[in-house]
Amino acid sequence: MKNQLEKISSDASSLIESIQNKAELDAAKVKFLGKKGELTSVLKQMGKLSAEERPVIGQMANEVRNYIEKMISDAETKIKAAEMKKKLEKETLDITMPGTPRKIGHKHPLSIVLDEVKDIFLGMGFDIASGPEVEWDYYNFEALNMAPDHPARDTQDTFYITEKMLLRTQTSPVQIRVMEKQKPPVRIISPGRVYRSDAVDATHSPLFHQIEGLVVDKNITMGDLKGTLEMFAKKLYGENTKIRLRPHHFPFTEPSCEIDVSCFRCGGQGCPMCKGEGFIEILGGGMVHPKVLATCGIDPEIYSGFAFGLGLERLVMFKFNIDDMRLLYDNDVRFLEQF
Ligand code: DAH
Residue owning the nearest CA to atom 8 of ligand 1: 309
Q: Is the peptide bond before 247 cis (omega within 30 degrees of 0)?
A: no
pLDDT value at residue 75 = 85
> Ligand 1 center to residue 307 CA distance, Å?
8
The span from the CA of 145 to the CA of 131, in Å, is 19
Residue at which a domain ends, from 61, 90, 119: 90
For residue range 230-241, list pLDDT tens digits in order: 999 999 999 999
Instruction: Determine the 3-state secondary structure of 298 from DSSP.
Output: coil
Domain that holds residue 53: 2-90
For residue range 124-173, list pLDDT tens digits in order: 999 999 999 999 999 999 999 999 999 988 888 899 999 999 999 999 99
CA neighbours within 13 Å on the CB side: how many for 221?
Answer: 3
For residue range 283-333, list pLDDT tens digits in order: 999 999 999 999 999 999 999 999 999 999 999 998 898 989 999 999 999
Q: Tell whether 96 is covered by a domain.
A: no
Which CATH number characterizes residue 186's domain? 3.30.930.10
Residues 139 and 24 in one domain: no
Ligand 1 binding pocket mutation candidate from 126, 226, 232, 252 (most atoms within 8 A of CB): 252
Task: Give me the count of residues in the chain.
Answer: 339
Residue owning the nearest CA to atom 3 of ligand 1: 170
Residue owning the nearest CA to atom 13 of ligand 1: 285
pLDDT value at residue 93 = 82
E strand or H helix that includes residue 319: helix 312-320
- Domain count across the chain: 2
Residues 86 and 182 in one domain: no
The span from the CA of 94 to the CA of 226, in Å, is 65
Ligand 1 binding pocket mutation candidate from 250, 289, 296, 315 (most atoms within 8 A of CB): 250
> Ligand 1 center to residue 170 CA distance, Å?
7
* 237-to-191, 218, 299 alpha-carbon distances in Å: 19, 30, 37
For residue range 16-39, list pLDDT tens digits in order: 888 888 888 888 888 888 888 888
Q: Tell whether 183 is covered by a domain.
A: yes
Residues 202 and 320 in one domain: yes
List ligand 1's pocket residues with C-beta within 6 A: 170, 172, 212, 250, 253, 284-286, 307-309
Residue owning the nearest CA to atom 7 of ligand 1: 284
Residue at which a domain ends, from 90, 124, 140: 90
Output the pTM of the full model: 0.72
Q: What are phi and psi of 188, to 5 degrees?
A: -135, 155
pLDDT value at residue 21 = 84
> Ligand 1 center to residue 229 CA distance, Å?
14
* 239-to-213, 259, 308 alpha-carbon distances in Å: 22, 17, 21
pLDDT value at residue 59 = 85
Q: Tell whether 100 is covered by a domain.
A: no
> Ligand 1 center to residue 308 CA distance, Å?
6
CA neighbours within 13 Å on the CB side: how many for 222?
Answer: 15
Nearest atom in ligand 1 to the alpha carbon of residue 194 is: 4
Res. 281 pLDDT band, cuts 50 70 90: very high
Q: Tell whether 99 is covered by a domain.
A: no
